[in-house]
Amino acid sequence: MVNSPAPADFAHAVDLLNAGALVALPTETVYGLGADASNPDAVAKIFAAKGRPADHPLIVHLANAEAMQDWARDVPEYARQLAAAFWPGPLTLILKKQSWVLDAVTGGQDTVGLRVPAHPVALELLRCFAASRHDSPAGIAAPSANRFGRISPTTAEHVRDEFADATPFILDGGPCAVGIESTIVDCSRHQPVVLRPGHITAAQIAAVLSGEQAQSPANDMHAARKAAPRVSGSLAAHYAPATPLRIVKSQDIPEVLAVWQHAGKRCGVVAYSVDPRDASFHELVRMPATSMEYAQGLYAALRKLDAEGLDQIIVEALPDSQDWAAVADRLQRATAAHALADSSGR
Ligand code: TXA
Ligand code: MG
């Protein structure tokens, strides 16, 4: 269900952007915390609001693929093919940047992340913003609208939960359809490399490319990790609820629950196939059994359970197949946050 804000809301959002203020906007993946990407003071407000380290680059959102040339140079043919095939959509392209693009946006790197989002509200805002800028480049720098390291928001309510009294103006576009962050493809090298898996899979990317480039869009999470903090989502610990989270194989869930129950602890369970019967000491969130619907509801499920003050969240292990790769990636990082906290004694 897509909400549509009133024309006056779009006009207000554009005024705020032009005044260097932040605006939260819906995209098809997650809500973003947006600022005028060409205004250093505005971009600085994003980092302050999120508590995000300054060397973590931001994605610049554009109204259309033609605007790519304002921000990127030496765009390889394969990147143009990807833009033509998947924009507007949940795909971010990392490209060599134009020299004027702010260091605050790129984390001081020679590349910039660009994306044309598919959400009608985001597109309308981007179009109105571009119209207000006449011929100068109009891009909205927007990371996910959550505090650094926390769960990305997929509703306007989630954004309010994150920022409370400091909540910026929000364009409410209803719940996000995709639910997890965009696929990121590094197009600054000879070959495309997937830096962050997402709704658009490596196989889909390979299918639109030809020749040499089609052979290697394989995930390169190893390279992405080595390159961290270039890709903040590539930090091993990210997207995490405050409650400790553990992934448990379907058949082991009853036993693990019994142990927690015996210890007098309360658990939350996120399950798509098992149905733990005794609900007296746990909260169950039933998830759809298809990867796309599961992704759509994942962050809302984690936020719901995180708000219950439970001792542990148990997530049923996912099927081991390619279409679950992006969801599995996000869950893995949510778990890693607590493994790190445990090992460092926090
Ligand atoms: O779906 C999405 O991508 C959402 C919506 C709002 O568009 N945005 C999002 O932004 O997830 P954020 O900041 O939470 O994650 C963006 C990722 C980060 O991991 C960042 O490091 C990476 O993109 N990134 C941005 N520019 C980059 C660059 N020049 N080189 C490498 N990674 C880059
Ligand atoms: Mg994020």
Give the global pTM. Answer: 0.92
187 ligand 1 Cβ < 6 A: no
Question: Tens of pLDDT along 193-224?
Answer: 999 999 999 999 999 997 777 775 655 555 55
Cα separation of 30 and 179, whole Å?
Answer: 6
33 ligand 1 Cβ < 6 A: no
* Alpha-carbon distances of 271 from 108, 111, 268, 322, rounded to whole Å: 42, 40, 10, 19
**Which residue CA neighbors atom 12 of ligand 1 most closely?**
143
Nearest ligand by distance to the CA of 184: 1
93 ligand 1 Cβ < 6 A: no
Distance from the alpha carbon of residue 67 to the mean position of ligand 1, in angstroms: 18
If you average pLDDT over residues 226-254, what whole number do you get?
74
- Given pLDDT bands bounded at 50, 70 and 90, which one contains residue 309? very high
116 ligand 1 Cβ < 6 A: no
Higher pLDDT, 116 or 135: 116
If you average pLDDT over residues 72-86, what whole number do you get?
97
Mean pLDDT of the chain: 90
197 ligand 1 Cβ < 6 A: no
Distance from the alpha carbon of residue 31 to the mean position of ligand 2, in angstroms: 10
